[in-house]
Amino acid sequence: MEFVEQILDLLPPPGTKVAVGMSGGVDSSMAVWLLKQRGCEVIGLTMSLWDNRFPLQDTGVKGCFGPGEEQEIAMAQSVAERLEIPFHVIRLADEYNKAVLEYFRQEYLSGRTPNPCVRCNRTIKFGFLIERAQKAGIPFDYFATGHYARVHFDPVQNRYLLLRGIDREKDQSYFLAMLQQEQLKKIVFPLGNFTKTHIRELARNTGFPELADQSESQDFLESNKYDVLFREDEVKEGDIVDEQGHILGKHHGIIHYTIGQRKGLGIGGAGDPYYVIGLDPINNRVIVGRKTALLKQTMKVIDCNWVSIPDAPETPMKIQCKIRLRHEPASAQLEKVDDYGKIVRVIFDEPQSAITPGQTAVFYNNDIVIGAGTIDSTEI
């Protein structure tokens, strides 16, 4: 427990009022426990997002959005009661539909592959949830979650820095890289200096063994398919074509495909397998090619958010860039494109596979998140 005591010293001082976004899982529950041990006044907040607007069935698939929400809220409330903290449920179904689900739908219909979790963190979890709780008269000084990431204040730059969690396998800074200074200055990540193994052990040792062994939510939707979010008239059959435009087969709607996909194409044949290398929503086509066609060295990133620096660098900057959650940050050069610092060009030292429009690109300097944006294209 000596290590835990050292981490507690990094948390807000005793008596500080901290609201914790609770899901009923081990991470947010242990965040509450740690803050309680520190002597903070802790309040539990849980988002309610589900409103039956889509015909999702409770099939046992875990996710952030779906009919299983009622059980998760009940679990979060049970943990709050055991830890003796106030607990509140904040209804955000309409906000979630407009800011996340509709964004997700329109991006897929446009032939892009969005990251709804990045969007949700910026607009819902660290946005509307805090705002609605405060408007409801729930007072707190800081907002905490069970994310594996860290926030440090840099007095030289007078900026709050977002850093990777020390557990590289669990690090969630990628999902948080679109947060802004006003949000970061009031955020606490109690688990940032722990590994997931440490947190599971902590749960067992503090009387929550059932949380230590539970499976984790792996997606934002309680379904193995996204079809349920789209109307039948929005998903149309079209051609699968090669790079020369030759028709190789039929697809059942471009929402079912993403860059780099190999399985489910139904166009087997001699030679190397085909992969999705492009989506053409205007002509409703899925473009396929061999694996080498997925390798690209340059990409344009738009809607950039700068975290550890105030704006896009005026001169080219060496960075490490992550193009999806499971991608190891790759060495690259970042160059400003527009006058406002919202568009940049990223040139990788080595070609990267399956750079996907719509996904989030995160720029790092070792552990520090420099900034992030949305991948627009590989055609500069």
CATH architecture of 2-212: 3-Layer(aba) Sandwich (3.40)
Pick the CATH number of 236-289 from 3.30.310.10, 3.30.70.100, 2.30.30.280, 1.10.630.10: 2.30.30.280
Q: What is the pLDDT of residue 380?
A: 59
Where does the chain hold its CATH 2.30.30.280 domain(s)? 236-289
Q: Mean pLDDT across the chain, nearest whole number?
A: 93
Q: What is the pLDDT of residue 269?
A: 67
CB 334 within 8 A of CB 298: no
Where does the chain hold its CATH 2.40.30.10 domain(s)? 295-377
HSE-up of 330 (CA within 13 Å, CB side)? 19
DSSP letters of 104-158?
A: HHHHHHTT----HHHHHIIIIIIIIHHHHHHHTT---SEEE---SEEEEEETTTT
Q: What is the pLDDT of residue 123?
A: 97
Tens digit of each residue's pLDDT (9 = 90 or more) over 133-161: 999 999 999 999 999 999 999 999 999 99
Q: What is the pLDDT of residue 1?
A: 62
Written as one letter, the residue type at 359 is: Q
Q: What is the pLDDT of residue 82?
A: 96
343's tokens? 């568009």
CATH of domain 295-377: 2.40.30.10
Where does the chain hold its CATH 3.40.50.620 domain(s)? 2-212
Residues of the chain with pLDDT under 70: 1-2, 60, 217-218, 269-270, 380
Q: What is the pLDDT of residue 270?
A: 62
Q: What is the pLDDT of residue 52?
A: 85
Beta bridge partners of 151: 162
